[in-house]
Amino acid sequence: MEQGLERRIEIIKNEYNAIAPKAAERLQKLPFLRLVNLPPTVRICLSEATETFGFGKFLASIIVCRVCLEAALVVAHGRNEQNLKVLIDECEKEGILSSAIARKAQEIRMLGNNYVHMLTDKIADELTRAGKVTRFKRAQENVILVQIGQESDALKANALMRDIVGFLYGARP
């Protein structure tokens, strides 16, 4: 048993060592912001989005950026909405977000939604082929993505999220 654990640890170390240089290269692509006074949930989500992007987990990074967006807006707005589009629109209407930042927020919302719906479509297709479900109606037909989680989309989501968080909480150079 001890030998099996040691072998697994060795495999994990090797995988990490192979990923680390790529992670450093990816992270250098992100705009640097020194953010102060971030609400804990926003800080945690932004950190998760950054780390998952660095380690090549692009789908996770995109989805966490969407979660981070919602967390940041709920804190800034003071209350939650059932619909993120409505929350973004309300934040813009109330002057919490500028029009340009609201457009960036909508981009993250749509990017995150596209990947989530694409993933659920893929899972439903697999369940249908396996005979686990008999019918499945697609929620969106307008999004066709070749890969689950593209680096360029994850980079875009992370950069947009930094713009939004910097706008809301004051970025320091």
Q: Residue 126 falls within a domain, yes or no?
A: no
Q: Which of 1-10, 70-79, 96-105, 131-140 has the lowest mean pLDDT?
A: 131-140
Q: Residue 137 falls within a domain, yes or no?
A: no
**Alpha carbon of residue 7 to chain centroid:** 33
With bands split at pLDDT 50, 70 and 90, how would you rate the model's confidence at 107?
A: very high
Q: Residue 123 falls within a domain, yes or no?
A: no
Q: Residue 124 falls within a domain, yes or no?
A: no
**Beta strand extents in the chain (DSSP E only):** 34-35, 171-172
Q: Which of 13-17, 96-100, 155-159 has the lowest mean pLDDT?
A: 13-17
108, 87 Cβ separation under 8 angstroms? no
pLDDT of residue 102: 97
Q: Which residue has the higher pLDDT, 48 or 141?
A: 48
Q: Convert the pLDDT of each residue in 35-87 to its tens digit.
A: 778 899 999 999 999 999 998 888 889 999 999 999 999 999 998 888 999 99
Nearest to 107 by CA among 88, 128, 126: 88
Q: Print the domain residue range for 61.
A: 2-112+149-172
Q: How many CB atoms lie within 10 A of CB 53?
A: 27
Looking at residue 162, which CATH number applies to its domain?
1.20.120
pLDDT of residue 144: 37
Q: Is the pLDDT of residue 26 over 70?
A: yes
Q: Residue 133 falls within a domain, yes or no?
A: no
pLDDT of residue 123: 67
Q: Convert the pLDDT of each residue in 142-155 to its tens digit.
A: 333 334 557 888 88
Q: Residue 127 falls within a domain, yes or no?
A: no
Q: Residue 26 falls within a domain, yes or no?
A: yes
The mean pLDDT of the chain is: 81
Q: Is the pTM here over 0.85, yes or no? A: no
Report the share of the chain in percent with pLDDT over 90. 36
Q: Residue 59 falls within a domain, yes or no?
A: yes
64, 45 Cβ separation under 8 angstroms? yes
What string of H, E and C letters represents the secondary structure of the chain?
Answer: CHHHHHHHHHHHHHHHHHHHHHHHHHHCCCCCCEECCCCHHHHHHHHHHHHHHHCCCHHHHHHHHHHHHHHHHHHHHCCCCCCHHHHHHHHHHCCCCCHHHHHHHHHHHHHHHHHHHHHHHHHHHHHHHCCCCCCCCCCCCCCCCCCCCCHHHHHHHHHHHHHHHHHHHCEEC
Q: Is the pLDDT of residue 99 over 90?
A: yes
How many domains does one find in the chain?
Answer: 1
